[in-house]
Amino acid sequence: MSDYIGTSVKRVEDQRFITGRGRYTDDIVLPNMTYACFVRSPYAHARINGIDTEEARNRPGVVAVFTGQDIVDDGINPIPTGWQIGEDMKEPPHHTLAVDKVRHVGDGVAVVIAETKAAAQDAAEHVHIEYEPLPAVADMNEALADGAPLVHDDAPNNVSFHWELGDKAAADAALAAAHHITTYEIVNQRLIPNAIEPRAVIGDHNVATDDLTLYTSSQNPHLIRLLLCAFVTGLPEHKVRVISPDVGGGFGSKIFHYPEEVFCAWATRKIGRPVKWTAERSESFVTDAQGRDHLTTAEMGFDADGKIVGLRVDTAANMGAYLSTFAGGIPTWLYGTLLAGQYTTPAIYVHTQGIFTNTVPVDALRGAGRPEATFLLERLMDLAAKEMGRDPAGLRRMNFIQPDQFPYDTPVVLQYDSGNYEAALDKALDILDYDAFRQQQQQARAEGRLIGIGFSTYIEACGIAPSAVAGAIGARAGLYDSGMLRVHPTGKVQVYTGVHSHGQGHETTFAQLVAHHLQIPMEDVELVHGDTAQIPFGMGTYGSRSLAVGGSAIYRALEKVLGKARKIAAYKLEAAEEDLEYVGGQFTVKGTDRSVSFGDIALTAYVPHDYPIEELEPGLEFNAFYDPKNFTFPFGTHICVVEVDPDTGEVEILRYVAVDDVGEVINPMIVDGQVHGGIAHGIGQALFEGAVYDEDGQLLTGTFMDYTIPRAADLPMFEVDRTVTPCPHNPLGVKGAGETGTIASTPAVVNAVCDAVGARDIQMPMTSERVWRAIHAARSSGDGQA
């Protein structure tokens, strides 16, 4: 009954999701509610010389029209970034609505609030804004050029920060002495997150009590409240409740504190009525923080045996027009620290500069820095293998950190706690039947077919993060989490967690965890999340931290509950605590048939007629905060096999093998689902997705007609398997599974396509046309296999 860990229980939340009964922010309709429509800049860069709201105010159904100045005049501060990168980081103000200038297409300029959404949208067309268009920079190289237009006057050369990590002298020396150097210029293109539920916010000020409730489709309601209260508005935290009901995906884009949240919180107080805003899909494209967007030069040196001796990396990271909540941390600490990968590289140096451009801000997107690091390393490994005439699997294997080297200190700060990389590689090769594949590939090539294979042996650092480490690297928050267990008198349990599911199935996994340890039916456990009024505190869901950090906090609370329950049981059974065993939901005096059930103990705790009231408080409820000791380090091997149509350049993925090690697994089906989704996302970057801005900063891929996200029919059946190396430092032995697929898969696919067509590199997304051109280039340079 209660052996839930390791069981593929069907997701309890799916019943309501797939029958259309989820309750998302936009489903909430409050009495007397009004609707906000943002008037957004059509220019990437322009001075605002005047805003005439008169006509809009007089349109039917209009309640109010506000501009940026109204908000500034009310003493509302700009939205801060949450990560300080170096003393000199340029952090120009990011106002709720633009005040003097607009800096990207989609920047908010004014807001119309009306009785209906349609009325607000109609009236918004009558807000007259006098723009003076300014030269814009969308491209990082242009932003860095001499005399480039400045996105912010106080950020010279459009640079926000410089950052470096590792030992430059050691890396330089290692490369100078290397037997072979592989150099790679990488464009890691910009992605658009595309959560299926657009962002939505409702501000609801209660005039009678002065309480503010903010509903927002967010991955971390507590952080939103903290930023909103402590930094932006100065509202007292105890008068502000942030609720994130069901959240339909985020991929990172719903971590951040957005202007629309500040606006609705402010405007509801101004007009004394609830204010709702729900993004149109076309708004999501130009306001949700985007991801990736690096230009990188990387050099990896090898000795004559193929051992990596050094790595040097220089990256320009596009920050967009403003620094979003985690922006600076992503291309630095979440990227540079991953550059050892699975390898024993002794000397690593990385330099990153954060660049402002007139584009949508860039921040964490599924994997956040780690996909960029993995892409760089795993492409380098395949390129190096080709250049040195080595087998790509063999080259990786000989550079692996060995199981007996853990804990392993990398030259880029991290200490890997555990790992067994060869086991995952071997398992993947086995599933693929590598030797047989190589023969089939030879034969297919002889027939003129273009078949290729690509590897990716990856590591990620997740379960973020030890607060002291986070603080030391510039995060302006701690990264612990909380878990609270409320056992009701009847023995039913509510679990309150500070992490918040936006598709990961927490209601199932966390209920399994609690039911397993309390040895009660899962149906007796319910998860409560996404509400600052109910949950003590929390840092939300991202960085594959929910189970590793939030789950560990719940485990600590479980220990407290079981500890007290044991005391009550000992009293009731008139036995010593040590003489009790807890089996099948019963405390039993060992060797006897005297027992008391969990339900009876709960009832006793709340009806303490016969109770050790002198020593023990009534009730059965505990909270625990858990601060992780280290990151967790999932790893694995992904292998992709593709066939390319030589006539059209179309890529078909024939096989996709993924062996991941995410530590202990509570619900294998959910983990597989996370891995599947992650792989799909990573394949999306490799083959389909890419934000394109023109030279004026207009987003050309602003609809689903132009921006391709992968669909089921574009993807093969994934062959997923696992090795299990438990995390040694958290009580659950778990690591995190939400991002592994995305981190691992992109380079595997690019490696496979390059192998198939005999190209050194193909720019992502590898559209059919780009692959077709690569085939031609390979053929005309004579090194194609076809």
Residues that bind other proteins (CB under 8 A): 117-118, 121-122, 280, 282, 647-648, 650, 687-688, 692, 700-701, 704-709, 714, 767-769, 772-773
As measured in angstroms, the least distance from the Cβ of 695 to other proteins is: 14
Please say which residue, 431 or 709, places its beta carbon nearer to other proteins: 709
Q: What tokens appear for 348 in the block?
A: 């690593």
Q: Which helix (H) or strand (E) holds 16?
A: helix 14-18
Q: Please report, for residues 198, 458, 494, 527, 732, the alpha-carbon distance to residue 506 in angstroms, rounded to integers and kept in the order given.
A: 21, 26, 13, 8, 15
As measured in angstroms, the least distance from the Cβ of 705 to other proteins is: 4
As measured in angstroms, the least distance from the Cβ of 166 to other proteins is: 39
DSSP string, 246-258: B----TTTTSS--
Please say which residue, 702 or 747, places its beta carbon nearer to other proteins: 702
As measured in angstroms, the least distance from the Cβ of 199 to other proteins is: 16
Please say which residue, 21 or 281, places its beta carbon nearer to other proteins: 281
As measured in angstroms, the least distance from the Cβ of 649 to other proteins is: 8
As measured in angstroms, the least distance from the Cβ of 121 to other proteins is: 5
As measured in angstroms, the least distance from the Cβ of 318 to other proteins is: 20
As measured in angstroms, the least distance from the Cβ of 679 to other proteins is: 17
Residue owning tokens 């607000």: 120
Please say which residue, 118 or 607, places its beta carbon nearer to other proteins: 118
Residue owning tokens 């204010």: 275
Least Cα distance to 155 among 342, 426, 10, 354 occurs for 354
Phi, psi of 128 (to 5 degrees): -105, 120
Taking the C-alpha atoms of residue 98 and residue 375, their distance in angstroms, rounded to an integer, is: 36
DSSP string, 660-682: EE-BS-S-HHHHHHHHHHHHHHH
SS3 for 38-85, per residue?
EEECCCCCEEEEEEECHHHHCCCCEEEEEEHHHHHHCCCCCCCCCECC
- What count of other Cβ atoms lies within 10 Å of the Cβ of residue 234? 11
DSSP string, 482-494: EEEEEE-TTS-EE
Q: What angle do CA 574, 580, 585 make, to 5 degrees?
A: 110
Please say which residue, 433 or 652, places its beta carbon nearer to other proteins: 652
First to last CA, the chain: 59
Taking the C-alpha atoms of residue 11 and residue 262, their distance in angstroms, rounded to an integer, is: 34
Taking the C-alpha atoms of residue 776 and residue 214, their distance in angstroms, rounded to an integer, is: 56
As measured in angstroms, the least distance from the Cβ of 215 to other proteins is: 21
Please say which residue, 280 or 426, places its beta carbon nearer to other proteins: 280
- The strands making up 308-320's β-sheet, listed across from edge to edge, are 159-166, 348-356, 308-320, 291-302, 180-191
Enter the DSSP assignment of 712. G
Residue type, 422: E
Please say which residue, 568 or 762, places its beta carbon nearer to other proteins: 762
Helix axes 506-518, 552-573, angle to 10 degrees: 30
Q: What tokens appear for 520 in the block?
A: 């009660």
Please say which residue, 304 or 712, places its beta carbon nearer to other proteins: 712
Please say which residue, 398 or 777, places its beta carbon nearer to other proteins: 777
As measured in angstroms, the least distance from the Cβ of 646 to other proteins is: 10
As measured in angstroms, the least distance from the Cβ of 650 to other proteins is: 8
User: 216 by DSSP, 3-state: which?
Assistant: strand
DSSP-based helix, strand, coil % in the chain, nearest 5? 35, 25, 40
As measured in angstroms, the least distance from the Cβ of 310 to other proteins is: 39
As measured in angstroms, the least distance from the Cβ of 469 to other proteins is: 41
Please say which residue, 351 or 776, places its beta carbon nearer to other proteins: 776
Please say which residue, 577 or 694, places its beta carbon nearer to other proteins: 694
Please say which residue, 84 or 708, places its beta carbon nearer to other proteins: 708
Least Cα distance to 152 among 106, 96, 90 occurs for 90
Q: What angle do CA 170, 376, 634 make, to 5 degrees?
A: 95
Note the residue count of the chain: 786
Enter the DSSP assignment of 740. H
Q: Identify the burial level of 445 via C-beta atoms within 10 angstroms of its C-beta, where 0-12 means exposed, 13-18 middle and 19 or more buried.
A: middle
Taking the C-alpha atoms of residue 597 and residue 490, their distance in angstroms, rounded to an integer, is: 11
Q: What tokens appear for 503 in the block?
A: 């598709």
Taking the C-alpha atoms of residue 408 and residue 344, their distance in angstroms, rounded to an integer, is: 9
Q: Please report, for residues 84, 152, 408, 703, 738, the alpha-carbon distance to residue 45 in angstroms, rounded to integers and kept in the order given.
A: 26, 10, 48, 21, 36
Phi, psi of 356 (to 5 degrees): -85, 140
Q: What tokens appear for 27 in the block?
A: 């489903």
Taking the C-alpha atoms of residue 219 and residue 362, their distance in angstroms, rounded to an integer, is: 17
Please say which residue, 148 or 777, places its beta carbon nearer to other proteins: 777
Please say which residue, 477 or 766, places its beta carbon nearer to other proteins: 766
Please say which residue, 615 or 647, places its beta carbon nearer to other proteins: 647
Please say which residue, 408 or 707, places its beta carbon nearer to other proteins: 707
As measured in angstroms, the least distance from the Cβ of 58 to other proteins is: 17
As measured in angstroms, the least distance from the Cβ of 690 to other proteins is: 10
Phi, psi of 774 (to 5 degrees): -65, -35
As measured in angstroms, the least distance from the Cβ of 345 to other proteins is: 37
Please say which residue, 84 or 121, places its beta carbon nearer to other proteins: 121
As measured in angstroms, the least distance from the Cβ of 252 to other proteins is: 22
Count CA atoms closer than 13 A to 742's CA, side-chain side. 29
Please say which residue, 467 or 698, places its beta carbon nearer to other proteins: 698
As measured in angstroms, the least distance from the Cβ of 638 to other proteins is: 22
User: 187 by DSSP, 3-state: which?
Assistant: strand
Q: Which helix (H) or strand (E) holds 640?
A: strand 635-644
